[in-house]
Amino acid sequence: MGFWFFMLLMDLLIPVTMLGYGRFFLKRAPKNINSAFGYRTSRSMKNKDTWEFAHKYCGKIWYVSGLLMLPVTVLLMLFVIGKSADCVGTVGGIICAVQLIPLIGSTFPTELALKKNFDKNGKRIRKQEI
């Protein structure tokens, strides 16, 4: 039971992190464009407008993904209560790997939205509600 609980906590790190940062980014982007914290791509760092847009857009994806992954993770881990450490570890590892898809994959729709709404210099070409 101890290893199962440990794996549950580890598997909850990604959805909880996505919920927290998603909510944070929805409310406000980091104040200054920087290369240390936040959604950092060359397109998002063009200017303050692209920086804020990217954080709100990615924040929404992360928040919704985190909300969906949290109960699914708990439910899937409930199926392996009392199983061997190998089984719990394998299921936990698979869950973690699947959770990385929306975590990393959120970059693609965010970059596409930036491309649709801003020109190559970061000037807004259309107004889009996030």
Provide the whole-model pTM. Answer: 0.88
Residue 87 tokens, joined: 């089984």
> Token match 């598997």: residue?
11
**pLDDT(128) > 80:** no
- Write out pLDDT tens, residues 22-72: 999 999 888 899 888 899 999 999 999 999 999 999 999 999 999 999 999
- What gap in Å lies between CA 86 and CA 92, rounded to an integer? 10
- What gap in Å lies between CA 68 and CA 65, rounded to an integer? 5
